Structure 1
Amino acid sequence: MGLSTSLNTAIGGLSATQVGIGVVSQNVANAGTTGYVRRSVSTADSLSGLTIGVQNTQVQRLLDKIVQHQLWQEASGAAYTSTRASALSNLDKLYGAPGSATALDTIFSQFTSALQSLQNDPSSYSLRSQVIDNATQLARQLNTLSNGVQALRAQAENGIANAVTKVNDLLGALTKVNSRIVAAPNDSSTATLKDQRDLILSELSQYVDIKTTEDARGSVSVVTGSGTQLFDGQPSVTFGFDEHSGLGADDQWNIDPAKRGVGTITMKDSSGNVSDAIANRIFRSGEIAANIELRDKTLVQAQAQLDEIAAQMSKALSDREIAGTAVTAGAASGFDVDLTALQSGNTVTLDYKVTPGGQTQRFTFVRVDSAASLPLPASAGGDANNRVIGIDFSGGPASVAAQIQVAVGPGFTVSNTGSTLRIVDDGAAGTRDVIGLTSRPTNTALSSAGGTAELPFFVDGSAGTPFTGSCEGGSQTVGYAARIAVNPALVADRSLLAVYNTSPATAQGDTTRPKLMLDRLTQSQRSFTNAVGLDGNGATSNTTIANFVQRVVSSQGQAVEAAKRLDEGQQVALASIQSRFQETAQVNVDQEMSMLIELQTAYAANARIISTVKEMMDVLLRV
């Protein structure tokens, strides 16, 4: 080996060790920097003729890309679970712990206890006042809870808006960094740019579940978990969101813009085509997915539960049950029932047994006064054993009978005589046995001549509109918890808590009305719609109002505990994958010091070679 070859080899080695020392010092300086990935120097030897040296020196980041991709997926899941857990925790605070002084079940119990006391002494003015006061507190608590639920929905709406803006900003920042990476040489500056890009992708994964790939040029491609392309050198789509403010219970998402009362996320591609990201289920994890689920499902169900409590309390106290009169028509048997007193939203129920087997099933017919109100909204409920069907009464009794005939099918015969509806089965040899036909009109008067004990104790809003469950122009039930109030006329004349008949006048000490109210709220079995989604049960349930209130309060506590456990588990999974990622990517100062010693030794060796070559050249020149 000649002196020139030795000199070139030493100079190449010296340059490589200088780069290595610079990388080590950079690692040590950024040991605590967020997003910094440890670097190392990769060198390749060259052999050209008789010349041996270092061909090139590359700075590489030390990380496990598979683990990094898992980290982003777990981060997306953690953002989803933490967002849900936080919102449900706030909802649970609104309801209060079961049995606590401010909990809904406690306030309901105070109301029924006041009714119990009034039943013992109906003529007592102080006991009447106590009933009114406790009922007012119960109505206001339902108002407060409903407003709180809608405030949480508005918070989720705003969270979606902010997240969509952030995603667009991150995709824009990703474009700039990615282009610089593609254009830059593979040195320490490229590694720094890739750190910046990874920080952007890490933040993006908080909002959207993403998957990434990198091509030979170093350019990154990003798709969602649902397979939608977000980025390929530049943003593939631009997101938009039409945020709505002041959400109410009837403001819900719908694919039809004319029916939609909340914002939706749109995607515009490079060709200008626009699609609905929510309708296409683009977001499956991350903060955006959590807020969509909260706004459009979880909190909607919470509102439905409150509305169901308010509606059931109102109808339990105001609706009369008029049982049909048994009739026969040849071998067929059934019932007659008068439809005169029914109002929009009132129901007629047909109970029957299927033979063979003897399974009891029900049809619930809901009065509407316009065909425009059909079909009934989803809040009307119903299931396979209780089919809820809207009937347009605007065409008169004959039209009502014809519509019911179509609904029930050939197993029954439906007819009418004036306002009296008759339904009979298909006879002794048939497959249907009618066992009940009941109409449930709402009593809108507090007292009257020949009056009944039912009363409109709770009304819809301060104007005192009777609650009938009307479906005209939308369901009266939706959002009713925010509007329920004690009947102002009852507050003005508290004697009506006992007096319901004006001719002959009911005695002030009559227990009939207080007893009816107490029994209807605490003892009577009522049918609760499956729209509330309570306990994940899709079937209509039969229980008392008191029991339903307790179940609603306790279910919220159970839901928040489940959400917290899920979030805790996800955070553990995230911490575990973070630890695995840091094992490779995090800077270990002791390891770097050891590497620095090796590089210093190599530097000294190369410097010694250069010094020796210089001495030998000096000797040769002096010869």
Structure 2
Amino acid sequence: MSLFGSIRMANNTLQAQQIGLQVVGQNIANVNTPGYIREEVIFEPAPAQRQGNIILGLGVRVAGVVQKIDKFLEDRLRGSSSDAANSDVQQQTYLELERLLGELGENDLSTSLNAFFSSISEVLNQPENSAIRNLAVLQGQTLTDDIGRLAEQVATARNDVNDQIISSADDINRLTKEIFDFNRQIAIFESSDISESDAVGLRDQRNQAIIELAELIDIQAVEQPSGAVNISINGEFIVNEVARRELTVVETTDRGQPVAEIQFVETGSVPGFTSGRVAGLFTSRDEVLAEFLDELDSFSAALAFEFNRVHSSGQGLLGYQELTGEFRIEETDEPLDAAGLSFAPENGSLQVLVRNLDTGVTETTDIFIDLDGLDTDTTYDDFLAALNGVDGLTASTTSDARITLAADAGLEFSFANDTSGLLAALGLNTFFEGDSARTIGIRQELIDDARLLAASGGGIGEDTDNAVLLADFANRELDSANGSSVDSLYRNLSSSVTQATAVARSIAEGDQVFMQSLESQRFATSGVNLDDEIVRMISYQRAYQAAARYIAEINELLEILVSI
């Protein structure tokens, strides 16, 4: 090799080591940059040249600068980050639900339940004491207010989750646009590069966008020969080399609340989100919170209807001159259990008590409710006719399809021994009103006059037999709740949230640990270790110094040659 060839070889070495130092500097500069992937210089022998019968190399050259990345590990990490985001959202939702339920506090629902039934028990001791009766009604109001407040708070939490779903669609569209734009730039950059270099800066930014997208939704990412990445959701592409698909939000209604669904713009189809933050939000909204509201509604309906069944068969300290039912009748000529009532009555009977205010004499009339499915079952019209057959009582239907009763002058009426549940189903002589957690309340007649609290079972103001049943109602097995009591229904509701929260926490912690283990593996491959970079820097520096020394020696030889 000539002296000039030696200088050329040394120059190649200087350039290669200089590039190596520059890459090390780039790695060190980005040691704390999120999503940065460590860069590595690929060295290869420079082309050789022939000198006589000898072939000599020209040193080293840089084949390219590439990212140090394990693509299989990246796929696993994307999947684990989706799972971790999914479980974390569900865990946070359960924690919020547990906080709203507040069973460890002093103002939880179980405290209100106990206080209410305790106040009913006090009526047993002093049934004619108006203050004690008012307290029982007030405790009932507190209970229904607490139930309604809990329902509203959970509904608000559900709305908040729905708002996050809406904003997530915008985030997905933003990230897919970024990835699509990076795809085009990377494909152009790398296709025009005759070396083996990656478009490292662009790839770092695209990889960070893919990581953020994977936290939102479960994706499959496949790199193409052009350098572009195709991304799909359950087999449906959302980004490829030439196009991307927009998502849009379509709002509907569920359980009386607005709910958003995410769809593809051009087809209207719904992506199958199975993991990621968005899947966790959908699960939180449509399962965790919605199902809790359903269970709270079921609890409230059972409490109201079954308590009303007992209350409607009793009598207060005074009767009614007039009374209007709460619930509307949809079909007056259909059997009562198919008349569209919120609660279905059953085969049985009831008694109507009409009391003369002057003489104190009470006339009792039995009305039979035939709902055995045989022959002709009792309709609303039949029941109305039976009531109108009671001396001193007039029954009719209001303009909004509710039953209304009125006693003749000098008379008052009440009810007893309803085995059909029809009075509770119509909302006559009841304690509670409403049929769900957000509608349950206390009948206005009782709020206005607590003497209507039906503590008696043997006639108007006669005894406290019905109050005994009402006070023990919390532990009574309910037919409409498959034999469960109100107390056990609430305990099951509360404990199910506690247990589900513990399970969600365990899953979230497990997903987080697994993701962190993969991140540690990723750092070992793609992360910047300052100690390692310093070692590489010293290596490149020494090689550079040696090449510079080599050039100095060649320069001396050239000076000797010139001086001859």
The alignment's TM-score, normalised by the length of structure 1, stands at 0.70
Q: CA RMSD in A?
A: 3.7
Task: Identify the match of residue 52 of structure 1 among 57, 72, 85.
Answer: 57
State the alpha-carbon separation in 1 of the partners of residues 47 and 554 from structure 2. Answer: 20
Determine if contact 1:163/1:207 at 8 Å carries over to the other structure: yes
**Residues 547 and 574 of structure 1: is their aligned pair in 2 closer, same or farther, counting only changes over 3 Å?**
same
Q: Which string of whole-angstrom CA distances, capped at 9 and with x for unpartnered residues, describes residues 560-599 of structure 1?
A: 2221121111111111111111111121111111111111
Cross-structure match for 1:71: 77
In structure 2, do the counterparts of structure 1 residues 450 and 460 end up closer, same or farther at CA, with 3 Å as the change threshold?
closer
Shift of 1:466: 9.5
Residue 505 (structure 2) pairs with residue 564 (structure 1)? yes
Alignment pair present for 1:492 and 2:448: yes
1:228 pairs, out of 236, 243, 250, with 236
Structure 1's 168 and 465: CA in aligned 2 closer, same or farther, altered over 3 A? farther
Whether the 8 Å CA contact 1:104–1:553 is kept in 2: the answer is no
User: Contact (CA 8 Å) 2:456, 2:463: kept in 1 or not?
Assistant: no
Which amino acid letter does the alignment assign opposite residue 244 of structure 2?
S
The residue that corresponds to 2:269 in the other structure is: 275
> Which residue in 1 is equivalent to 2:157?
152
Deviations 1:469-522 (A, max 9, x none): xxxxxxx85xx2111111110111111114668xx9612x62123123234432
| 1:603 correspondence with 2:530 | no
**Distance in 2 of aligned mates of 1:73 and 1:250:** 35
Name the residue aligned to 1:543: 484
TM superposition shift of 1:366 = 8.0
1:23–1:39 Cα contact (<8 Å) kept: yes
Question: How far apart are 1:450 and its partner, in Å?
Answer: 5.3
1:144-176 Cα offsets, whole Å, 9 max, x none, are: 111011111101110101111000000111122
- Whole-Å separation in 1 of the counterparts to 2:157 and 2:42: 54
Q: Provide the secondary structure at the position in 2 that maps to 1:57.
A: strand
Contact (CA 8 Å) 1:21, 1:599: kept in 2 or not?
A: yes
Give the alignment partner of residue 415 of structure 1, picking from 366, 375, 381.
Answer: 375
Instruction: Indicate which of 454, 466, 471 corresponds to 1:518.
Output: 471
* 2:322 maps to 1:313: no
Query: Are residues 585 and 521 of structure 1, via their aligned partners in 2, closer, same or farther at CA, if it must alter by over 3 Å?
Result: same
Distance 1:457 1:126, change over 3 A: farther
Greater helix percent: which structure? 2
What's the offset of the Cα at 1:418? 7.0
Residue in 2 that maps onto 1:263 = 260
SS in 1 for 2:230: strand
Which residue, out of 78, 82, 86, partners 1:80? 86
How far apart, CA to CA, are the structure 2 residues paired with 1:163 and 1:180?
26
**Helix, strand or coil at the partner of 1:292:** helix
Of 256, 280, 291, the residue aligned with 1:290 is: 280
Match for residue 132 of structure 1 among 118, 133, 137: 137
Q: Is the 8 A contact 1:111 1:138 kept in 2?
A: yes
CA distance 1:465–1:69, shift in 2 (3 Å): farther
Q: How does 1:432-581 map to 2 (within 5 A)?
A: 449=413, 451-452=415-416, 477=435, 480-498=436-454, 506-507=460-461, 510-528=463-481, 541-581=482-522
TM-score with structure 2 length normalisation? Answer: 0.77
The answer to whether residue 48 in structure 2 is matched with residue 95 in structure 1 is no
Per the TM alignment, residue 242 of structure 1 is displaced from its structure 2 partner at its CA by 3.0
Indicate how the Cα distance of structure 1 residues 597 and 459 shifts in structure 2: closer, same or farther if over 3 A, else same: farther
Answering whether residue 207 of structure 2 is matched by residue 198 of structure 1, we say: yes
Q: Is the 8 A contact 2:39 2:65 kept in 1?
A: yes
Q: Write the letter of the residue equivalent to 1:121.
A: Q
In structure 2, the CA distance between the partners of 1:458 and 1:593, relative to structure 1 (3 Å rule), is farther
Distance in structure 1 (CA, Å) of the matches to 2:443 and 2:424: 5
Distance 1:600 1:37, change over 3 A: same
* Contact 2:336 2:379 survives alignment (8 Å): no
Deviation at 1:284, TM superposition (A): 0.4
CA deviation profile, 1:242-282 (whole Å, cap 9, x unmatched): 357xx77333xxxxxxxxx52211103xxx333233xxxx1
SS of 1:367 mapped into structure 2 = helix
2:181 pairs with 1:211: no
| Distance verdict in 2 for CA 1:140–1:445, change over 3 Å | farther
> Contact 1:446 / 1:456 at 8 angstroms: preserved in 2?
no
Give yes or no for contact 2:309–2:424 (8 Å, CA) kept in 1. Answer: no
Partner of 1:334: none
Which residue of structure 2 aligns with residue 583 of structure 1? 524
Q: CA deviation at 1:446?
A: 12
Distance 1:107 1:234, change over 3 A: farther
Larger of the two Rg values belongs to structure: 2
> How far 1:106 moved relative to its partner?
1.6
Residue 5 of structure 1 contacts residue 52 of structure 1 at CA under 8 Å; is this kept in 2? no
Deviation at 1:179, TM superposition (A): 1.6
Q: State the match for 1:3 in structure 2.
A: 3
Which 5+ residue runs of structure 1 have no aligned equivalent?
Answer: 252-260, 323-341, 347-364, 374-378, 382-399, 406-413, 421-441, 469-475, 529-540
Aligned residues: 485
Deviation at 1:119, TM superposition (A): 2.2
Q: How far apart are residue 15 of structure 1 and its match?
A: 0.8
CA gap of 1:366–1:592, structure 2 versus 1, over 3 A, is farther
Q: Check the 8 A contact 1:175/1:235 in 2, yes or no.
A: yes
Structure 2 match to 1:255? none
Give per-residue Cα distances to partners, 1:297-332, cap 9 Å, x unaligned: 22111111111121111111223799xxxxxxxxxx
Unpaired segments ≥5 residues, structure 2: 51-55, 313-326, 345-369, 381-401
Give the whole-Å Cα distance in 2 for the aligned partners of 1:317 and 1:213.
62
